[in-house]
Amino acid sequence: MVQAIDMALARAMADDPNVILLGEDIGVDGGVFRATDGLLKRFGPERVLDTPLAEAGIVGAAIGLAAQGFRPVVEIQFTGFIYPAIDQLANHAARLRNRTRGRLTCPLVVRSPCGGGIRAVEHHSESPEAMFAHIPGLRTVIPSSPRRAYGLLLAAIRDPDPVVFLEPTRLYRAMKEEVVDDGQALPLDRCFVLGEGQDITIIAWGGMVAEALAAAARLAKRGVGAEVIDVATLKSLDADTILRSVEKTGRCVIVHEAPLTAGYGGEIAARIAEDALTSLLAPIERIAGSDTIMPLPRLEQAYLPDADGIVAAAERALAYK
């Protein structure tokens, strides 16, 4: 997936001279995950800017660039380091168009690796997507495959408003998929239905989509048809796709890696309860990280939701009478 991101960045930069990259170690080093590998050489130091170590300053400067018509794409090295920049995102990037009645705009993308599963050190494995989804004026996108990473990142860069683009680190190298560099963006604000199923809906995003698909494959062997939905864009939420699926299946499991309480799964569960309650044949199941600090790598697997947990939740929902 990391190559798909690199490819999307290169494509966006080739298509639009206003697209510039800023971040720590993204130039000479090509990014700590190599998501910007080769881009400095190809596009030069005025379009790939290695910055000082200053997350708030980088995002703040990117807001100034965006207001002047650039389309900056910022890399924050890990989401654990993004918090100083949340002030810039929430108080400025997300509000600039609204507070100037459209006079100044902020076509900015902040990319940041997120989530666990790669045995990283402290502060390198968090899943703070719900925080961003709660900020009005920000889009929050999390791809779950190389193709969707390519298409969604192109869409995010072309979007005239700010987007937080969270990249699950566990997918950077785990997933191999042929990606055609055709410049085709995928729609934002749209969920992706991965495989049709009549019996239960499994809703996930980012790194949890692969676990959901693995769970669906196991359920299929038992004759259970699970429909997996990759939410992909948490904000704005394509609730219709989720509701249509749940109305069909009557049962659902919502999966996320982030802590359970006030997690984005709660929002999806609420939408289902509000608009599809009479279709439900069983209580909504949520499988999520516990409300704890993300453990260090030795206990990481004990924290992360997996296919086993999803299958168990699905079985509970299916058994409910």
Partner 1 sequence: MTVKFEIDFLRCLDCDGEIVGPLPAAAEDPQFAIRLYRALIRARSFDAKAIALQRTGRLGTYASALGQESVSLGAASAMASEDVLVPSFREHPAQLWRGVSLLELFLYWGGDERGSDFAGPRQDFPNSVPVGSHAPHAVGVALAFKLRRQPRVAVCIFGDGATSKGDVAEALNLAGVWRAPVVFVINNNQWAISIPVARQTAAETLAQKAVAAGIPGRQVDGNDVLAVHAAVAHAVARARSGQGPSLIEAITYRLSDHTTSDDASRYRDDAAVTPHWAEEPALRLRKYLVARGAWGKHEEEQLLAETQLEIDRAADAYLATPAQPVESIFDYLSAELPADLARQRAAALGK
Neighbouring residues of 33: CB distance < 8 A, sequence distance ≥ 6? 2, 113, 169, 172
Question: In whole angstroms, what is the distance from residue 88 CA to residue 299 CA?
Answer: 34
126 contributes a contact to partner 1 by CB under 8 A = no
Question: In whole angstroms, what is the distance from residue 26 CA to residue 305 CA?
Answer: 31
Residue in 3, 34, 61, 247 binding partner 1, rule: CB under 8 A? 61
Residue in 27, 80, 137, 289 binding partner 1, rule: CB under 8 A? 137
Residues of this chain, 169-198, that bind partner 1 according to CB under 8 A? 189
Residue number, 88 or 169, with CB nearest to partner 1: 88
Residue in 239, 260, 281, 312 binding partner 1, rule: CB under 8 A? 239
Q: Respond yes or no on whether the N-terminal peptide bond of residue 236 is cis (omega within 30° of 0).
A: yes
Residue in 3, 105, 217, 295 binding partner 1, rule: CB under 8 A? 105
Q: What is the dihedral of CA 47, 53, 55, 60, to 10 degrees?
A: -50
Residue 206 tokens read as: 């980012």
Residue number, 59 or 252, with CB nearest to partner 1: 59
Question: In whole angstroms, what is the distance from residue 297 CA to residue 183 CA?
Answer: 37
The one segment of 31-39, 59-67, 294-302, 313-321 that binds partner 1 by CB under 8 A: 59-67
Residue in 9, 63, 166, 185 binding partner 1, rule: CB under 8 A? 63
77 contributes a contact to partner 1 by CB under 8 A = no
Query: Closest by alpha carbon to 79, among 262, 286, 224, 294?
Result: 294
Q: Which residues are at the interface with partner 1 (CB under 8 A)? A: 20, 46, 51-52, 54, 56-70, 72, 84, 87-88, 91-92, 97-105, 136-137, 139, 159-161, 189, 236-240
